[in-house]
Structure 1
Amino acid sequence: MESVHRMTTQSGAFRGAGIGAGVISQQEHTLPSVFDIWAQQSLADSVKPAFKHVVKFMGLWYPKETKSVNKWFDELYLGFSLFLDTYYLKNYGGSFSENFYGMKRINPKTSQIPMGGDRLKSLFFISVWPYLRGKMDELQAKLSEVAEERRTSIAKFFLKYYPYFKTLLAAATIIFQIAYIFNYSTIPTPFLWLSNSKLIKLTPEDLLQFESIPLHLQNGGLLTKLWRFIISIPSVFGRLFTYGLFFVQFLEFFYSSDAAKELSSAHQRSQPPIHPVMKLSEPEVLTMEVDKCPLCFRRRVNDTVLSVSGYVFCYSCIDAYIRREGLCPITYLPATTNELIRLYKNNNTV
């Protein structure tokens, strides 16, 4: 608290000097960076999954006791979120995640914290809207599994236009954030705009006006650092989980691609395969007829050309070789069975 009083004294002295020098005395609001916005949103989005994992974990030991909790988890979390964010909006001017990162909401015109209708709007978009969005996503997934002939007209309308609504909402969010990054707007999300609010950084004066300063906003102390660490766990694990899913999806995509097969076959070979001609003596190579297969050295059967190199082989010979080695036996160029082209002769021609 001493540091807060010291910062307040210095700020007051600066504003006093500004008045004496004819500078505008009203303190300008400091807007949070876009990284602060993303961080608080990440924390807000990761708290619910963290609680859900805890409930699932407890269900391993107490399945009967947690059955009802699992069934009504969304509604129970909605009640918890409404209680928590109502308390923080009323006492600190922002949601729990916003307050954790040292931010509060104000009316863009009056610079006052949300009151009355503005507070209800903020509470709706902070707590109620994520609940409704989750339910609509679940409904979309269920209706998609229903046969089209069994869907009602309302269900068809919902399935047709709900994806457009989500796309429009995502595009609006991107536009708001781009405008915020380039200082064309002071409001980073459409939900803040609909709530008639904008975010600013907390000042030492704000901390002094609080009846009790939240522990994560206090300075120093082992208990403070421990509390900040505990609160940040859902956000950290949420990001790690997201990165992990992306990495797993990348591995699945890579190992299902042709590049992975070629790389795998290359590692299985300690050295390049022997060129077919090297298996013959020089006289045999010079006297070799043009209709012989370079792999079996017999007259070709079902002539097949490998398009990556232009050489012609027996179909059975080159097909088996390509599947095994993944390259042309003559030029060593990478190849797949998709590059095999069958040739057909016209026996009626003279």
Structure 2
Amino acid sequence: MAEAGAHLTSSTGSEQPSIFEVLAQESLMDAVKPALRHAVKVLAESNPSCFGFLWRRFDELYLLLDVLLQNHFLLNCSASFSENFYGLKRVSGGRGLPVRLGLPRKTRWRSLLLLCLVPYLRAKLEATLARQREEEDFSIRLAQSRSQRLYRAAVAAYPYVNSAWQAWIFCQQLLFVFGAVRTHNPLLWLARVRLARLTERDIRDMELNTSRSSSPTGTSTLQRMWWLTSQAMKGVAISLSTSLSMGVFFLQFLDWWYSSDNQATVKTLTSLPAPPPPRHLEMADSEERDRTRCPLCRRLRVNATALSTSGFVFCYRCIYTYVKANHCCPLTGFPTELQHLIKIYSPET
């Protein structure tokens, strides 16, 4: 996938990516989840019986898909999906170590844990704290037990902890820009890896690994079953990555379309005053503008009857005769039959 991207920058002299590349790959996955969440919400609202469980278990299902996707790319490309999309790879964090494709098993599992589980736990924590804040806003609860007091203290301390974490990320990125550190994100530092650009040799190694994995190794039944399982998981991961690669720009468009700024613009446009009715429907004089008169006989309506096709009200005898002869509304021309006549009962009757 990386070799097919127009943004591949491995031809540059330095192996270390720029701050624009690393921030772009981070924003890619940040835009995918909200847009995918909105797509699932639309499906759930259109057909709750079939797609309601997708909305209720969206975080867990997204975590499962994310684990499959990221594990496939970490295993075959030594990078996450977004990093590989921008022509990057993960290498060991030491300065003197060779920059080769492939991660040790412990490093790969550590990267997978920080890539998938940490965002999931953070989203769950923020959702729980948001519900707690709503309960605190609409009710008064005195903390009586020790666990309740600790929970309230955690809710109060989370904004400060989150601010400290964001400040750490900002300082790390600032130091990365000036070359003082080799990782732009604390999660990469915790995983003991850093980002580097893909080279032509890395691309050839990935193609060679793909060709080698196309045939089973070993002759035992257990080995063949393991190979079939791994191939199935690989197929799922490749399908996910391909669909995400093709739909990533569409998902980013959805994320922009349903953003608060754009929705404010749409609301402003849709809140404009309605245009006046067509002039040919306006009455010519004050007598005709009287809504108690029949548009056909120009007299006070007798036995008022409405047309369900247009909404206009006539005398029953007038509109019955006209519709039976012409099969249309006399004012709008809409096709109308006798079954479209609706009797209007006044309070006096």
Q: TM-score normalised by the shorter chain: which range applies? A: 0.5 to 0.7
SS in 2 for 1:142: helix
Candidates 30, 40, 59, aligned match of 2:15: 30
Counterparts of residues 241-280 of structure 1 (less than 5 Å): 241=257, 244-246=259-261
Distance 1:38 1:75 in 2: 26
Matched, 1:138 2:134: no
Counterparts of residues 187-206 of structure 1 (less than 5 Å): 187-206=183-202
Distance 2:192 2:20 in 1: 22
For each residue in 1:83-137, what CA deviation from the matched residue of structure 2 results, as whole angstroms up to 9, or x when unmatched? Answer: 1100110000011111111111010223454322211221122111111111111
Distance 1:226 1:75 in 2: 20
Distance 1:204 1:168 in 2: 40
SS in 1 for 2:26: helix
Query: TM-score when scaled to structure 2?
Result: 0.56
Who is 2:327 aligned against?
none
Who is 2:87 aligned against?
102
Matched, 1:149 2:149: no
Matched, 1:124 2:113: yes
Matched, 1:160 2:145: no
SS in 1 for 2:152: helix
Shift of 1:188: 0.5
Candidates 68, 71, 85, aligned match of 2:70: 85
**Residue identity in the other structure for 1:232:** F
Shift of 1:145: 2.1
Candidates 51, 57, 60, aligned match of 1:72: 57
Shift of 1:57: 2.1
**Residue identity in the other structure for 1:47:** V
Alignment gaps of 5+ in structure 2? 5-10, 212-241, 268-349
SS in 2 for 1:146: helix
Candidates 199, 204, 209, aligned match of 1:208: 204
Indicate conservation of the 8 Å contact 2:44/2:54, yes or no. Answer: no
Matched, 1:230 2:247: yes
Indicate conservation of the 8 Å contact 1:88/1:94, yes or no. Answer: yes
SS in 1 for 2:93: coil
**Residue identity in the other structure for 1:56:** K
SS in 1 for 2:66: helix
Indicate conservation of the 8 Å contact 1:114/1:197, yes or no. Answer: no
For each residue in 1:299-337, what CA deviation from the matched residue of structure 2 results, as whole angstroms up to 9, or x when unmatched? Answer: xxxxxxxxxxxxxxxxxxxxxxxxxxxxxxxxxxxxxxx
Q: What is the RMSD computed on CA atoms of the aligned residues?
A: 3.1
Who is 1:337 aligned against?
none
Structure 2 CA distance for partners of 1:241 and 1:172, relative to 1, 3 Å: farther
Indicate conservation of the 8 Å contact 1:40/1:98, yes or no. Answer: yes
Shift of 1:59: 2.2
Aligned length: 217
Distance 1:247 1:232 in 2: 17
Indicate conservation of the 8 Å contact 2:26/2:82, yes or no. Answer: yes
Candidates 25, 33, 46, aligned match of 1:48: 33
Who is 2:24 aligned against?
39
Indicate conservation of the 8 Å contact 1:42/1:235, yes or no. Answer: no
Structure 2 CA distance for partners of 1:66 and 1:165, relative to 1, 3 Å: same
SS in 2 for 1:58: helix
Who is 1:274 aligned against?
none
Matched, 1:186 2:178: no
Alignment gaps of 5+ in structure 1? 5-10, 12-26, 214-224, 253-350
Who is 1:305 aligned against?
none
SS in 2 for 1:207: helix
Indicate conservation of the 8 Å contact 2:32/2:248, yes or no. Answer: no
Shift of 1:246: 4.0
Distance 1:108 1:80 in 2: 27
Taking only the aligned residue pairs, the percentage that are identical comes to 28
**Residue identity in the other structure for 1:171:** A
SS in 2 for 1:149: coil
